[in-house]
């Protein structure tokens, strides 16, 4: 057992505490034992003498000495007449004050070098007064003291040993789950296997909570690492295509036989792919800032109706094809939002509706109050999303198979929508049917009033 382990320290502390208690108890028992020796010797002496006093009897005016017990309980009895002459009993060795009689007082004397006690009892009687003297040694009660001392010296040290062993076993059993936790953590660290779990079935409540917290942490770490691995793989795939196109166009531009129009086409392709790379990089940077907590949300009470109208008008001007936009925006809907982030959320949802719509399709944007909440809905008449695919659409770089060929799809738009929604304490959901279209809804708390949104406020999302 290592002395620097918690089990050893607990056991040592427990043992030291019990040792101190035992030492104190032994000292206390010794002190009490001494007092018991004295008190018990005196009480035995007094009781024996007084028992004899009760047995005194006279036969025709003559003391019947046969009724007196001259030796009992290690007490010697001597009977004196009124002249202090011995009537019966064994005379003791001389001691200081042996001719003095103190009625019913215990005296401590020394007889032949041994501490002793003397107790005299005066018995008046018309047939002649007598004195009954009892003498006993101080060691009369030592058997009891010895028993107390033996019990103290044998039982109490054994209690220390028992307590130390018991404390060690209890501490070892209590910290057994901790060793399981450490073993699992080391196994994960050595084998880089984040799928391992502690799975503690029983133990102290605190240790069970610790094990559950670790399992939850391992689960989050596993999900995070899997997400990062998938992110790196997908990001490499998304970045590789525009990079390859730019390099190919550069190689073509190096050829001397190219005409000015061919040079212009190459520059246009390079510019388009560079913008695509820039947009992808900005989106990745925004997501990274959200996850790292470096992108702070600047809340302010703003007019969502103005914000949504401005974004709708801007995107309708950009998309002048066959897809039409329909707006149903309730006036003066206010909420506590980060204007730039909320602009990005509305923009991504509408862009998504345009991107995956059909020819001659429709994009419908609505904003309304629903009790204490405000609900933004963006629906399209596009390709739709299967039920199996809907659980993945919020993941970074994920796109439905039918949308993989989209030139402008990065797979980050909806992931950003979810991040922004959660940052505002809102909920975003989707309802979709394949070949019929999709409806994305965002719900959050309304506010009473706020500032008016200008076009410049909404355009900040493009800069940040």
The residues near 432 (Cβ < 8 Å, ≥ 6 apart) are 384, 385, 386, 390, 438, 439
Model confidence pTM above 0.75:
no
Exposed/middle/buried for residue 222 (C-beta within 10 Å: 0-12, 13-18, 19+): middle
Q: Is residue 108 part of a domain?
A: yes
Identify the band that residue 203 occupies on the pLDDT scale cut at 50, 70 and 90: low
Q: Is residue 285 part of a domain?
A: no
Q: 194 near 218, Cβ under 8 Å?
A: yes
Comparing 373 with 4, the larger pLDDT belongs to 373
Q: How far apart are CA 256 and CA 247, in angstroms?
A: 17
On whether both 139 and 212 belong to a single domain, the answer is: no
Sequence-separated contacts (24+) of 11-16 with Cβ below 8 Å: 11/164, 11/167, 11/168, 11/171, 14/163, 14/164, 14/167, 14/171, 15/160, 15/163, 15/164, 15/167
pLDDT at site 25 = 74
pLDDT at site 379 = 94
On whether both 213 and 361 belong to a single domain, the answer is: no
Q: How far apart are CA 180 and CA 172, in angstroms?
A: 12
Question: Which of 123, 145, 167 corresponds to the end of one domain?
Answer: 145
pLDDT at site 202 = 64
The residues near 455 (Cβ < 8 Å, ≥ 6 apart) are 310
Cα 399 to Cα 243, 340, 378, 418, 436: the distances in Å are: 20, 25, 18, 15, 18
Q: How far apart are CA 297 and CA 426, in angstroms?
A: 14
Structure tokens at 80: 């004196």
| Number of domains present in the structure of the chain | 3
Q: The domain that contains 304 carries what CATH number?
A: 3.30.565.10
Percent of the chain with pLDDT over 70: 73
Question: Which of 145, 165, 183 corresponds to the end of one domain?
Answer: 145
DSSP structure class, residue 330: -
Arithmetic mean of pLDDT over the chain: 78
pLDDT at site 155 = 74
On whether both 336 and 444 belong to a single domain, the answer is: yes
Q: What angle do CA 91, 94, 95 make, to 5 degrees?
A: 125
On whether both 327 and 446 belong to a single domain, the answer is: yes
Q: 275 near 310, Cβ under 8 Å?
A: no
Structure tokens at 108: 């401590």
pLDDT at site 4 = 54
- How far out from the chain centre does Cα 94 lie? 80
Q: Is residue 390 part of a domain?
A: yes
CA atoms within 13 A on the CB side of 344: 27
> If you average pLDDT over residues 385-407, what whole number do you get?
67
Q: Is residue 128 part of a domain?
A: yes
Q: How far apart are CA 402 and CA 144, in angstroms?
A: 99
pLDDT at site 405 = 42
pLDDT at site 331 = 92
Exposed/middle/buried for residue 151 (C-beta within 10 Å: 0-12, 13-18, 19+): exposed
Structure tokens at 414: 């909806």
Q: 105 near 97, Cβ under 8 Å?
A: no
Dmax over CA atoms of the chain, in Å, equals 166
On whether both 320 and 271 belong to a single domain, the answer is: no
pLDDT at residue 357 tops 60:
yes
On whether both 335 and 431 belong to a single domain, the answer is: yes
Phi/psi region, residue 332 (left: phi>0; alpha: psi -120 to 50; beta: rest), is left
Q: How far apart are CA 103 and CA 97, in angstroms?
A: 13
On whether both 47 and 78 belong to a single domain, the answer is: yes
Q: What angle do CA 211, 217, 218 make, to 5 degrees?
A: 90
Q: What pLDDT digit, counting tens, does each position of 309-340 carry? A: 999 998 888 887 889 999 999 999 999 998 88
pLDDT at site 388 = 82
SS3 334: strand
> If you average pLDDT over residues 392-400, what whole number do you get?
71
Structure tokens at 230: 């998938």
> If you average pLDDT over residues 412-419, what whole number do you get?
83
The whole domain housing 431 covers: 300-463
Q: Is residue 353 part of a domain?
A: yes
pLDDT at site 306 = 93
Q: 344 near 420, Cβ under 8 Å?
A: yes
On whether both 253 and 326 belong to a single domain, the answer is: no
- What is the DSSP track for 36-94? HHHHHHHHHHHHHHHHHHHH--EETTEE-GGGS-SEETTEEEEEEETTS-EEEEPPPPP
pLDDT at site 458 = 44
Q: Is residue 177 part of a domain?
A: no
Question: Which of 97, 113, 145 corresponds to the end of one domain?
Answer: 145
On whether both 391 and 246 belong to a single domain, the answer is: no
On whether both 104 and 215 belong to a single domain, the answer is: no
Q: Is residue 156 part of a domain?
A: no
On whether both 352 and 406 belong to a single domain, the answer is: yes
Q: The domain that contains 44 carries what CATH number?
A: 3.30.450
DSSP structure class, residue 452: P
Q: What Rg do the C-alpha atoms of the chain give, in angstroms?
A: 51
> If you average pLDDT over residues 260-271, what whole number do you get?
81
pLDDT at residue 37 tops 70:
no
pLDDT at site 398 = 66
Q: Is residue 23 part of a domain?
A: yes
Q: The domain that contains 266 carries what CATH number?
A: 1.10.287
On whether both 125 and 252 belong to a single domain, the answer is: no
Exposed/middle/buried for residue 15 (C-beta within 10 Å: 0-12, 13-18, 19+): middle
């Amino acid at each position: 057992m290592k002395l620097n382990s918690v089990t050893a320290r607990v056991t040592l502390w427990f043992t030291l505490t019990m040792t101190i208690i035992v030492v104190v108890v032994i000292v206390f028992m010794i002190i009490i034992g001494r007092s018991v020796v004295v008190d018990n010797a005196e009480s035995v002496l007094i009781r024996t003498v007084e028992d004899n006093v009760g047995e005194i009897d006279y036969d025709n005016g003559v003391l019947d000495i046969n009724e007196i017990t001259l030796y009992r309980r290690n007490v010697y009895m001597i009977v004196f007449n009124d002249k202090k002459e011995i009537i019966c009993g064994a005379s003791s060795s001389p001691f200081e004050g042996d001719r003095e009689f103190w009625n019913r007082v215990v005296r401590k004397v020394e007889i032949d070098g041994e501490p002793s006690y003397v107790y005299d009892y005066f018995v008046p009687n018309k047939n002649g007064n007598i004195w009954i003297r009892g003498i006993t040694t101080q060691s009369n009660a030592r058997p009891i003291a010895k028993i107390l001392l033996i019990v103290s010296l044998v039982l109490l040290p054994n209690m220390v040993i028992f307590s130390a062993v018991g404390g060690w076993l209890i501490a070892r059993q209590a910290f057994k789950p901790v060793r399981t936790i450490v073993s699992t953590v080391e196994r994960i660290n050595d084998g880089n296997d984040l799928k391992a779990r502690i799975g503690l079935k029983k133990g102290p409540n605190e240790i069970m909570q610790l094990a559950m917290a670790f399992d939850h942490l391992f689960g989050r770490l596993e999900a995070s690492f899997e997400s990062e691995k998938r992110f790196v793989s997908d990001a490499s795939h998304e970045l590789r295509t525009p990079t390859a196109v730019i390099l190919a166009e550069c190689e073509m531009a190096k050829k001397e036989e190219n005409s000015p129009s061919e040079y212009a086409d190459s520059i246009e392709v390079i510019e388009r792919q560079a913008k695509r790379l820039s947009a992808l990089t900005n989106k990745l940077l925004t997501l990274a800032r959200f996850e790292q907590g470096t992108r702070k949300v600047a809340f302010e009470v703003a007019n969502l109706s103005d914000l949504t109208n401005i974004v709708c008008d801007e995107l309708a001007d950009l998309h002048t094809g066959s897809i039409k936009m329909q707006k149903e925006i309730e006036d003066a809907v206010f909420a506590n939002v980060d204007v730039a982030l909320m602009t990005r959320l509305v923009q991504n949802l509408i862009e998504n509706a345009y991107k995956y719509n059909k020819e001659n399709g429709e994009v419908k944007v609505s904003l309304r109050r629903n009790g204490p909440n405000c609900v933004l809905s963006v629906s399209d008449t596009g390709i739709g999303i299967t039920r199996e695919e809907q659980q993945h659409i919020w993941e970074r770089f994920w796109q439905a198979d039918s949308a993989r060929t989209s030139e402008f799809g990065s797979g980050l738009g909806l992931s950003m929508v979810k991040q922004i929604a959660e940052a505002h304490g809102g909920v975003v959901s989707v309802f979709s049917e394949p070949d019929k279209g999709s409806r994305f809804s965002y719900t959050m708390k309304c506010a009473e009033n706020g500032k008016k949104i200008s076009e410049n406020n909404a355009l900040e999302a493009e800069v940040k």
